[in-house]
Amino acid sequence: MTPRQVADYMFEQDYFSQWMNIKMIDVKENYCLIEMPIKKEMINGLRTVHGGVTFAFADSALAFSSNNTGDAAVALNCIINFTKAGKEGDVFRAESILVNDTRKTAVYDIKITNQNNELIAKFVGTVYKIGKKVTEL
């Protein structure tokens, strides 16, 4: 399977990413670019995007980029820095890039921006390679 086929296979089973209305823009080996419109159900009591939504969006980018070779990997550690509040009607983009790869772990940098290319959050995710194929799970 190509990286895009693996990501599509995962997405078909990922009802949470579907609920977030994520669209895959670009998928390459150990890389992805995804997009998500911000809807009212994602807004918190301060009328900004809930931090958990932004984290979950970045986590989806991590999943689609770190598993798209077909070898399954799960999040081991994730850190997020919020730099700008999102609002209803925004369109978020997350770009996930591999920065370090070892036999059992890998580290990805994920940048989340809005429709004006303003930085919303910076996310760093470390994954653990579990030794199984995505299609075996």
d(C-alpha 45, C-alpha 129), whole Å: 38
Domain count within the chain: 1
CATH number at residue 40: 3.10.129.10
End-to-end CA distance of the chain: 16
pLDDT digits (tens, 9 = 90+) for 117-135: 999 999 999 999 999 999 9
Residue (of 117, 121, 113, 123) closest to 82 by Cα position = 121
- Give the pLDDT band of residue 103 (cuts 50, 70, 90): very high
pLDDT value at position 82?
98
> Average pLDDT in the 14-24 region?
98
Range of the domain at 115: 3-136
Gyration radius of the chain over CA positions: 14
